[in-house]
Chains A and B, each alone.
Chain A
């Protein structure tokens, strides 16, 4: 079982729609969860972090965390063509593997006009 797994893409949505990206993780001791965005040929950059169960909103982005189901998601409302990128879920390990930051395989999002 992969430590961090994202729903397979690619994902294509029309401009103005909601894009939904999902991620599951295997380490029940994990406490910190992140979503990064990576444009083609560039380095990843942080867009959201979440640590507690529930929703966290920042502008058009909402992260959702359910520790019981070991599930993290990212919703992008009013999607724009500039949101077209690869989205990476990242999880810090708990317990004796503290400090270990593992990424999922990424979901490629395309927002078409």
Chain B
């Protein structure tokens, strides 16, 4: 059972480049999330989705875009990468409001 799978695990981007962080879950969860975590800090919500075709902004959405065309996939797009986007990115999913969120292994992104 795979759970939440994120790719890639590591990536180095040059300033101004773009990339997509992939996230897929096989638990048929309705809710999916993208967070970023800077060193020594908590998780900051970038975007979230409560179902296919529905997305909403979190605390720090600037510089990112998402889409949710299927229940399983929730890719995060970075356009025009900046050094401030250097962080560890976590994707998570949960079935409903009252249930546990499961996390992927994280993607460590460095923008140089």
A interface residues, Cβ below 8 angstroms from B: 3, 6, 31-32, 34, 43-46, 49, 51, 88, 90, 92, 97-106, 108
Contacts of A46 in B (CB 8 A): 100-101
Contacts of A105 in B (CB 8 A): 41-42
Contacts of A51 in B (CB 8 A): 98
Can you name 14 A-B pairs with beta carbons within 8 Å? A32-B97, A32-B98, A43-B90, A44-B43, A44-B90, A44-B103, A45-B103, A88-B43, A100-B45, A100-B48, A100-B58, A102-B58, A103-B45, A105-B41
Contact yes or no, A90 B101, CB < 8 A: yes
Contacts of A100 in B (CB 8 A): 45, 48, 56, 58
A3 to B, closest residue via Cβ = B59
How far does the alpha carbon of A6 sit from the alpha carbon of B42 in the complex, in Å? 10
Q: Which of A6, A43, A88, A99 contacts B97 (CB 8 A)?
A: A99
How far does the alpha carbon of A45 sit from the alpha carbon of B56 in the complex, in Å? 24
